Structure 1
Amino acid sequence: MGDQPRAYVLFHPVEGLTLKAGVGRGFKAPTLKQLSAEFESWAAMGGRGVIRGNPDLQPETNLSYEMGAAYESDTWSAGATFFHNKVRNLIDTVRQPTCFAPGRVCLAYENVARVRLQGVELTGGTDLSERWRLDANYTYLDARDQITGEPMPDRSRHRANATLAWKPLASMSTRMQLEYIGAQFRSDKQGKRPGYALLHWYMDYAVNRNLTVQVGVENLTDKRLANDDISLFSRADEGRRYFVGMRVQF
């Protein structure tokens, strides 16, 4: 979304507790590739799909409401936020009934006239000891096409993360993250795509106050969903990924 005018009200009834409520509007114009009639991407769905642009796309508009509460103490924190978004002309990739390329799946950028996205996000964290901390979050999302009444495809109703962090030295911290992605609706005929979990590991080391080295391994167990069942998980998986980076600050 582009720049969004927002109005928020914050209230602190007691120390550590914050209540908030807000409303905002958003606008998102289609990208040049999404609007281009000549644009084609043959990398969709791990090379099994083709996405074409659509010059008739309309901009997305969004009206969002939010209310929640958060509490933070010296050793633990918790929060809950309810959100309700009304989106008009949502830009989405839609599977086409026929395809010009044999053996492939054709998709196109299309507007979904009216979509409602609403749900609840829960967060929490606690210090287990001086060096260990556990943080978690959970999101429930009800994404629905208000014209057809059906759930929006390829969107998980349940998502969750849990992170266990360890700081053995003042200059070094490491954390293990468990990510859960719940079942996703595909269509009335295809049913749901089952949920799955991924495991990640990260480490930060501060060489000095200006330079921090970051390393990590994502998808530690090398889970490859499309290899398990290509009919359910059509997107190609990257599998286990290693990375090294640096953060410089002055």
Structure 2
Amino acid sequence: RYFGPYMEYRNYASVGAKSDHLSTLFTVGWHKGEGYDLTPDATIGPRNGRYASLAPGYNPYTFDTPLANQYILATRFPMYTPPLESTSGSAFNDMNLSNKTVYRATDNLILTGQFYYRHLDQSAVDASPPRTIFDRRNKTHDFMGAFNVDWIASQKINLNLNANYSRFQDLYVTDQRKADDLDSQQRTDNAVTELRTRVDYKISENHVTSVGAENLQDQISSARIAPDCRRTYPNVCYEDFNPLLTKGQSINGNAYRFRNAFYLQDEWRVSDKPRIQIVPGIRYDHDSIYGGEWLPKLAVRYDVTDQFRIRVANGLGYRAPSFQDLYFNFLNPGVGYRVVGNSDLKPELSRSYNFGWEWDITKRIWYSSNLFHNNVDNLIGYRTNPVRDASGLMVFQTSNYQKAMTQGIESSISIRLTDIVTTGVGYTYTDTKDELTNLPLEGRGRHRWNLNLRVEEKSSGISLSVFAVVFGKQPYYCIKNPFWCNPDLPSNFDSLETALNQESQNSIQNLLGALPTVLSDYCAEKNLSYCTTSPTYGYRMVNPYTNLNIRLSQKFLSHFQWFVGVDNALDTWDLQYNPQRPKFYYFGLDGKFAFSDVKLKNGDS
């Protein structure tokens, strides 16, 4: 069960103007939502059914608990733990503004400028048993600006230049109620500048060679990075002499990196009948922290007929860890998890192979499939730590899978049943494996289905869309004992779970404690539970769910459209594995107007 207001309000507006040479479009939006609670002991009442544990008149029972029940809990259940006020989904106030302007200076020269700004203010309540409550708040400013030049220099040469700048600033504050000892304040400031250039040389109508270069400058200031004074001689900071100077505030460290890339690609249509197209290429990526890598690729397209096409591709991919991968730190105690970065990450190198086909069966039926196989060294992903942190939160940490494999098939079919009804069905099978531990990759289910249905009756303006995604069970890691996973009991059985775990560890130590250390370490590395006293891991297949979204709309009076819908119509969520928003209803109104007599003239402001 869950309780809360769950009200959201969304407004947006766009206004633009267009002339022969200049067009511009401004969009402004506002989105506000109230937090919700997914925890099992949520009850109807003020503040999501919770009482602040340190507030005057604190009542250790959920809202509106009868006096008889309070007496029984107090006298017969002395270990009763009262629920604390907390939220699972943050309340938020989201405002954004964007613009895109295109100037056609000549038939051969196009200049494009755009920017995007977003201010996001989030607030939530976190609980830390037995009786500590925090008010949490995030204030975020996010800006992106870009300028692009497309120039047809001659009949054979095209030039593209692109520059963009982004800035992300976040203030993260936790305020302990009725106390200041655990207050904290963290600031993050991340600035990224990127320059890209590409030259296309047309050898013939069917043959184009492209060469390009990229440069990225990335700078971050974060509390997750050791302060500069700690990393340089004499490794002493001001707060060492006066701790009160920075009480409640985290001291930031700074990091800087740059990335350079160069690539060459040749797109050659060898034949028109049948169409055969070959695209070889090579790219060099260099990261100032992790070094560089050469990345070749090859793609081939072959049209067997006008209705049946085959595509084949393979290549190398390279991904250096981002600053978010290295230093991210996010807590959501209301849902019971924490996401942290990992400063020891290594870059990811992948080898991918794809074979696919597309078939226009009739004018109303289209089918496509793609077989894929990927081998990845040091795959970067989130891994669940089987041991919770000191506050009892489940920890998801970015980690390297030393050697990983993913393979499978993606298929979809689209059908136009009538002139007003279209539908589609898709299926993806994904087999994954951590080749070192012989476990599947965590959180990646084998099966996923999707279904869409759209009905659009133009004369009445009515439109209905239905979209569903069905996820099969996903693997999540757990400690083996030693041949099966420890039981995952409800939180009110924590003491029993601890006792069972301790008993199993004692049994393992008594049974395998005499094994040589070298053998035990080898078995631990290979995740072999029968020859080591160290923890080894298995997995549970859990959390199958279906997301179903439905939307109904109708256009009227030429300029307006009303709409109503429901997201997550089946109300599927899981506090531990899938803390998504519960069933959510919405309705609204759109309006669109055009004024043909409004013109922009060159030189107007």
TM norm. shorter chain > 0.5: yes
CA shift digits 1:2-60 (9 cap, x unpaired) = 98764211111112111111112222222213212xx421028x631222221111122
Tell me how far apart the structure 2 counterparts of residues 204 and 88 of structure 1 sit (CA, whole Å).
48
Give the % identical residues.
24
Q: Name structure 2 gaps, 5 residues minimum.
A: 1-260, 262-282, 284-294, 478-483, 486-538, 593-605
Number of the residue aligned with 1:224: 573
Secondary structure of the corresponding residue to residue 305 of structure 2: coil
The amino acid of 1:11's aligned partner reads Y
- Give the counterpart of 1:35 among 300, 317, 326: 326
Deviates further, 237-246 or 175-184: 237-246
Tell me how far apart the structure 1 counterparts of residues 303 and 448 of structure 2 sit (CA, whole Å).
29
- Give the counterpart of 1:107 among 376, 392, 396: 396
- Give the counterpart of 2:304 among 13, 23, 40: 13
Aligned CA distance change for structure 1 residues 207 and 61 (closer, same or farther; 3 Å): farther
* Equivalence map 1:57-72=2 (5 Å): 57-72=345-360
Matched, 1:175 2:175: no
* Equivalence map 1:1-250=2 (5 Å): 6-36=297-327, 39-43=328-332, 47-72=335-360, 73-169=362-458, 173-187=463-477, 189=485, 190-202=539-551, 216-226=565-575, 233-241=576-584
Aligned CA distance change for structure 1 residues 191 and 245 (closer, same or farther; 3 Å): farther
Tell me if structure 1 keeps the 8 A contact 2:383–2:442.
Answer: no
Deviates further, 191-200 or 201-210: 201-210
Tell me how far apart the structure 1 counterparts of residues 543 and 571 of structure 2 sit (CA, whole Å).
18
Where do 4+ consecutive residues of structure 1 move more than 4 Å?
2-5, 203-216, 242-246
Deviates further, 48-57 or 164-173: 164-173
Secondary structure of the corresponding residue to residue 325 of structure 2: helix
Secondary structure of the corresponding residue to residue 186 of structure 1: strand
Secondary structure of the corresponding residue to residue 225 of structure 1: coil
Tell me how far apart the structure 2 counterparts of residues 151 and 141 of structure 1 sit (CA, whole Å).
10
- The structure with the largest alpha-carbon Rg is 2
Aligned CA distance change for structure 1 residues 207 and 160 (closer, same or farther; 3 Å): same
Calculate the aligned-residue CA RMSD, in Å: 3.2
Number of the residue aligned with 2:256: none
Tell me how far apart the structure 2 counterparts of residues 201 and 9 of structure 1 sit (CA, whole Å).
39
Tell me how far apart the structure 2 counterparts of residues 66 and 211 of structure 1 sit (CA, whole Å).
45
Q: Name structure 1 gaps, 5 residues minimum.
A: 227-232
Aligned CA distance change for structure 1 residues 56 and 221 (closer, same or farther; 3 Å): same
Tell me if structure 1 keeps the 8 A contact 2:545–2:572.
Answer: no
Tell me how far apart the structure 2 counterparts of residues 221 and 100 of structure 1 sit (CA, whole Å).
33
Tell me how far apart the structure 2 counterparts of residues 172 and 215 of structure 1 sit (CA, whole Å).
12
Tell me if structure 1 keeps the 8 A contact 2:408–2:429.
Answer: yes
Secondary structure of the corresponding residue to residue 443 of structure 2: coil
Tell me if structure 1 keeps the 8 A contact 2:543–2:577.
Answer: no
